[in-house]
Amino acid sequence: MNSTLPSLAAHETRADHASAIVHIHALSKTYRVHERPAGLGASLVSLVRRTFKEVRAVSDVTFDIQPGEIVGFLGPNGAGKTTTLKMLAGLLHPTSGDATVMGFSPWRRETDYLRSISLVMGNRNQLNWDIPAMDSFLVNQVIYQIPKREFRETLDELVELLDLGDLLTKPVRGLSLGERMKCELAAALLHRPKVLFLDEPTLGVDVTMQGRIRRFVGDYNRRTGATVLLTSHYMADVTALCKRVVVIHRGRLLYDGDLEALADRIMPFKVIRLDVQEQAAAERLALYGEAVEVTGLKASLRVPRADTPAIVGRILAEVPVLDLTVEDPPIEDVIDLLFNATDSDGSAQS
C-alpha cells in the first residue's frame, strides 16, 4: 500500500476470534482458464496444444464474522466476491487456505451443513418457472426435511414479512422480477438457515422493491439472529444494513472494518452544497475549496474534514448565500476512490 491509503490493510481488532461463526483464513482460489485463440488454424492447433492461463480470483483473504452480524462484502465486478461466497457455500473448493462456517468445512458439503445455510443469487433462479412458488416450496420442505408445523410457521412469517400474499399460487413465469426475487428469498429461508449468503439480492429490481428486500433482510436478521454476508452493487443496501464492510479488489482484501470509519479514512472530506444569489458569487467559490460541481446558482465544494467549520464560517461571511448544507461524501465516491487508488497502485505490485 502506498501513501494515498495509509493503514488500510491493517484489520480492525474485532471481537474474539474464537466466538466467530465464520472463519476465513488465507483463502485463495485460482482458476485455470483455457486460452481460446481466434481463427480456424489457431483453434485447430489449440485442440492439440492447449494453453492455459492462471487467474487468481481470490487471493489470501482472511476475516471472521461474528454470529448475528450483517457484513457487507464490497468490490467491483470480478473482484472475487461471488467466488468467495461460492467457496463459503461449498460450491467451490479453494486452491489454498481455509474456511470454516459453524465448524464445518463448507466444500465437504455435509448434509447438516447444507441444511443450515442458504445462498441467494440475484441473477439466478431456483424456482421452477412453470409452477406456483408454493409447489417449489413444498419440494424444499421434503428436501430439507422440515417438519410440517415448523414449515407452516416459517411460511406464515415469510408471507407476512415479504408481503407475499397471493403471489405463491401463481406460476412463477407470470411474476415480475421483484416479486420473483421475494419468492426466491422465501424459498431460500424456509429451512431457517443460520448463515445466509446473499449475492446481489436486489439486482435489477426497482427502488421500492429494493427497500422492501433490504428491510426484510434486516428484520430476518433481528428475528432469527442469522448471520448474513451480503454483496450488492447498490450502496444503499450496504449502508442500510451493514455496520461493517469487507472490501476486496482483484481478489485481495483491501479493508475490513466500520463503514463510517472507511469514509473518514479514504475521503477525509466534507461536501458543502450551496445555493447562491448571483452567478459571480458561484464562480468565486472555488477559492474556498475544490469545486466539485458548479451549475448556475448551485454549487458543491469539497473541503478537508477538519477545516469544515472554519471554511463554512468564511463563506457565510463573504459570499451572498441563500442556502448551505454540509454532507459526508457519498459512499459510492468513497468506494470508487478506493478502487481507483488501488488500481494504479495494484498494477505496480503485480
Number of residues that bind other proteins (CB under 8 A): 43
| Nearer to other proteins among residue 172 and residue 303 (C-beta) | 172
CB of 170 to other proteins, least distance (A): 12
Question: Does residue 111 bind other proteins (CB under 8 A)?
Answer: yes
CB of 121 to other proteins, least distance (A): 7
**Cα 226 to Cα 194: distance, rounded to the nearest angstrom:** 5
CB of 349 to other proteins, least distance (A): 25
CB of 344 to other proteins, least distance (A): 31
| Cβ neighbour number for residue 36 with a 10 Å cutoff | 10
Q: Which of 16, 35, 112, 323 binds other proteins (CB under 8 A)?
A: 112
| Nearer to other proteins among residue 54 and residue 166 (C-beta) | 54
Q: Which of 142, 306, 317, 348 binds other proteins (CB under 8 A)?
A: 142
| Nearer to other proteins among residue 3 and residue 111 (C-beta) | 111
| Nearer to other proteins among residue 100 and residue 128 (C-beta) | 128
Interactions with other proteins, residue window 81-110 (CB under 8 A): 86, 89-95, 107, 109
Q: Which of 16, 35, 130, 323 binds other proteins (CB under 8 A)?
A: 130
Cβ neighbourhood burial of 251 (10 Å; 0-12, 13-18, 19+):
buried
Interactions with other proteins, residue window 166-225 (CB under 8 A): 171
Interactions with other proteins, residue window 14-53 (CB under 8 A): 29, 31-32, 38, 40, 43
Question: Does residue 317 bind other proteins (CB under 8 A)?
Answer: no
Q: Is the alpha carbon torsion for 138, 141, 147, 153 positive or negative?
A: negative
The residues that touch other proteins, with contacts defined as CB under 8 A, are 29, 31-32, 38, 40, 43, 86, 89-95, 107, 109, 111-115, 117-119, 121, 124-126, 128-131, 135-136, 138-139, 142-145, 147, 150, 171
